[in-house]
Homo-oligomer: A and B are copies of this chain.
Amino acid sequence: MHASILARQIPRASVVAVADAFEDTAASVAAELQVAAMSVDELLASPQIDAIAICTPSPTHVELIIRAAEVGKAVFCEKPLSTDIGEVDRALAAVERSGTPFMVGFNRRFDPGHRSVQRAVQSGAVGDVQLARITSRDPALPPPGYVEGSGGIFVDMTIHDFDMARFVVGSPVVAVFATGAVLIDPAIGAAGDIDTAVVVLTHANGAITTIDNSRQAVYGYDQRVEVMGSKGMATSDNVAKDNGRLFTADGARGANLQHFFLERYRESFVNEWEAFIDYVADGGPSPVPGSAGRAPVVIGQAAWQSVREGRTITVEQG
């Protein structure tokens, strides 16, 4: 999907080559997009290539970031950079040494609705932020075996919401309380994870954010963001599949929520890649800098500690 958006919908980008651990996948995408299939070594060595987009499984991120940074390629990397803070720091240090452009793939920042919330805060329309709420519930369980390697819900799923909280409130996190339960799928519990979670974040500016997560909202992909302050409240509501409704003597009926992240966040991906390409081409501050990739991992680890200890955990650089 990412390669296709870059090739077809981002006029300033030109896809040179794709690489994949599965050669067949790489070959098939390359054929469809009429570009080359390369190995990672070839990609990194190619003088034609200015920027690398790392959309591989998380455990491979750090090494690829470091290698790309060392050869001076601009880097886009999907979240999480790593579930291990030490590893995150190793990658960010390499980026800093090389001075290469670097952006973390928190696509939800580029969703038009969520972004309108952040802009309302930034413009002052919301006033001093007091309360924020993020609801983030997946429409369906991940495939069996997925959670084992995921780092757990707070690093795998809530990490988006930790980033969103920092983004829309505009202030770092200083304290974390989390709780949760296995209410949906015992297999998730057997893997040491939880499927239902609530997190309360305290920000440096005093604002309090509440996050709730579920691995399975049968009514659709529930993605809402809200910030309330001294002057008002900005909200980003769910998106229905269509705007048809039926009114009868039994009440009103409407369509389901959009169900799939590619549908719900379609625009955010296009906007995200546009932001990356503009950043690589024109310079300026990173749209989502390395520090924004680090903080949610810190918060996620604190959330796990809070669940274990039943108390609020203080964090630095969250």
Residues of A at the B interface (CB closer than 8 Å) are: 8, 34, 111-117, 120, 125-128, 130-131, 133, 135, 137, 177, 179-181, 183-184, 196, 198, 200, 202, 206-208, 210, 212, 214, 217-220, 222, 228, 230-257, 309-312
CA distance A208 to B117 in the complex (A): 26
Q: Most chain-B CB neighbours within 10 Å: which of A128, A242, A310?
A: A242
The docked-state distance in angstroms from the alpha carbon of A198 to that of B210 is 8
Contact of A247 among B181, B198, B219, B244 (CB under 8 A): B219
Complex alpha-carbon distance, A99 and B255, angstroms = 39
Q: What is the CB-to-nearest-CB distance from A250 to chain B, in angstroms, rounded to a whole number?
A: 8
Number of copies: 4
Residues of B near A309 (CB, < 8 A) are 311
A176 to chain B, nearest CB (A): 11
* Closest residue of B by beta carbon distance from A114: B244
Could you list 12 further interchain pairs (A-B, Cβ under 8 angstroms) beyond the known A198-B210, A252-B256?
Answer: A117-B244, A130-B214, A131-B196, A131-B214, A133-B133, A181-B206, A218-B249, A219-B247, A219-B248, A233-B247, A251-B255, A309-B311
CA distance A113 to B243 in the complex (A): 5
Given A130-B184, A131-B198, A177-B200: A232 in contact with B210 (beta carbons within 8 A): no
Which of these, B214, B218, B255, contacts A252 with CB under 8 Å?
B255
* B198 near A200: Cβ-Cβ < 8 Å: yes
CA gap between A265 and B82 in the complex, in Å = 40
- Interface CB pairs A-B, < 8 A, 17: A120-B244, A128-B183, A131-B214, A133-B135, A137-B228, A177-B179, A179-B208, A183-B206, A198-B200, A208-B212, A218-B248, A219-B247, A231-B249, A232-B249, A249-B256, A251-B256, A310-B312
